[in-house]
Amino acid sequence: MVSMKDISVACGVSVATVSKALNDHADIGAETKNRVRQVAKQMGYFPNSAAKALKTNRTHNLGVLFEEDDHSGLTHDYFAYVLDSLKGAAEEKGYDITFINGCRTRHNRMSYLEHCRYRGFDGVIIVCVNFHDPEVLELVNSSIPTVTIDHVFNNVCSVVSDNVKGMRELVQYVYNKGHRRIAYIHGVNSSVAVTQRRLASFYKTAEELGLKIPDEYIKAAAYRDTKASGIATAELLELRERPTCIFYPDDFACYGGINVIKERGLSVPDDISVVGFDGIRIARHIEPKLTTLKQDTTQLGRRAAEKVISLIEHPKTTLIEQIVVEGEVYEGKSVACLK
C-alpha cells in the first residue's frame, strides 16, 4: 500500500507537505499541490479511511436499519426506491451507507446500537423495523444522530409520507366517481402508525362525505400478502350487499384481490373497482392500470439522508422535526365511474 512517505520521497518534499497538499491547505502553493496530487494518483495512493476517521472523528458512513416483516428485502418495490434515493443523496454528500446487521439467529450477535458503534457510523437512518423493539428504542435514545422514515419518535427527526392526506384524496376520488359502498382491506404486521393513520383517515373522510362503512366492509391482511388479500376479497364478494370498490393495503396485495375477482368471473373495473397504495412502477404497466396513491419515494429517501447528514455536520443548529412528504393520486383505470 502506497503511503504519504512514499509520495514524499518521489516528490522530494516532506511528509507534512504531502499531507497539506492532499488536504488542500492554503499554505501550500498550487504548483506543489498539483505535482503531489499527480504523483499520488500515478502511484495509486488512497487515504487510509481508519486513520482519517481518527483524525476527523468521522467515518462518513451511515447505518441503515431495514427489516420488514415479509422478508422481501430489496425486492420490495416501495422500499427499494426509497433506499435508492437515500443512497444517491448520501453519496452526493460524500457518505457511504451500510446496512445494520440484524441477524437474530447468529450466536453472540450485537445489538443494533452495538453494531452501530462497532462500525463507527456517523449517523443512522431507520427505514423499516419493529419500532417497538427494545433494541430499536435503545438506538433512538442513544447519542448517534438518527432519522426515522414513516415512524415518529419525539426525540429524533422523522420523514413521513402524508398517509392521512393521501387516503383522504383516494376516498374523495372514488366518491367523486359515484361509489358509495366502499370497503377497505387494511394492512397488518407492519408499521402500526402507518396503518392507524390510513385507517383513521379512511373513516374520517367517509364520515365527512356522509358514507356509512359497515363493519363487515373492513378487513385486515398483511402488507404484500396476495393470499391474505385474496381471502379477504372473497369474503367481501360473498356479502349480501357487496362493495362496489375495494381499497387494499398496497399495490402488490391488490393483485391478490384482482385474481380472486377474476376467478369469480367478474371484471375490474366493470363489476368491482379496486384501489391500491404506494404507486409501484409495474402497477402502471399492467391493464387495467391501477388506481393508487403514488408515494414520493425519491423525496422520502433524499430528505432522510439530507437530514441525518445535517444532524452530523451541524448538530447545534439542526432542528428535531417531522418532515411530511406528500404523494399524489394516480388515477389509473381500475375505478369505474358509476355516475
What was the pLDDT predicted at 327? 95
Domains belonging to the chain, first-starting first, are 4-47 (1.10.260.40), 61-161+298-326 (3.40.50.2300), 163-295 (3.40.50.2300)
What was the pLDDT predicted at 129? 85
Q: From its phi and psi, is residue 55 left (phi > 0), alpha (psi between -120 and 50) or beta?
A: alpha
Which parts of the chain fold into alpha helices (H)? 4-11, 15-22, 30-42, 49-56, 77-92, 112-119, 134-140, 163-176, 192-208, 226-237, 251-263, 297-313
What was the pLDDT predicted at 69? 64
Q: From its phi and psi, is residue 88 left (phi > 0), alpha (psi between -120 and 50) or beta?
A: alpha
With a CB cutoff of 8 Å and minimum separation 6, the contacts of 96 are: 60, 61, 62, 90
Strands lying side by side in the sheet with 146-149: 96-99, 61-66, 123-128, 146-149, 157-161, 322-325
* CA dist., res. 162 & res. 327, Å (int): 7
What was the pLDDT predicted at 67? 81
Reading the chain (339 residues) residue by residue, the pLDDT tens digits are: 778 888 899 999 998 898 888 878 888 888 899 999 999 888 888 766 555 555 556 789 999 998 866 666 676 788 899 999 999 999 999 999 999 876 554 556 789 999 999 889 999 999 988 888 999 999 999 999 999 998 888 889 999 999 999 999 999 999 999 999 999 999 986 567 889 999 999 999 999 999 999 999 999 999 989 999 999 999 999 999 999 999 999 999 999 999 999 999 999 999 999 999 999 888 888 889 999 999 999 999 999 999 999 999 999 999 999 999 999 999 999 999 997
What was the pLDDT predicted at 109? 76
What was the pLDDT predicted at 192? 77
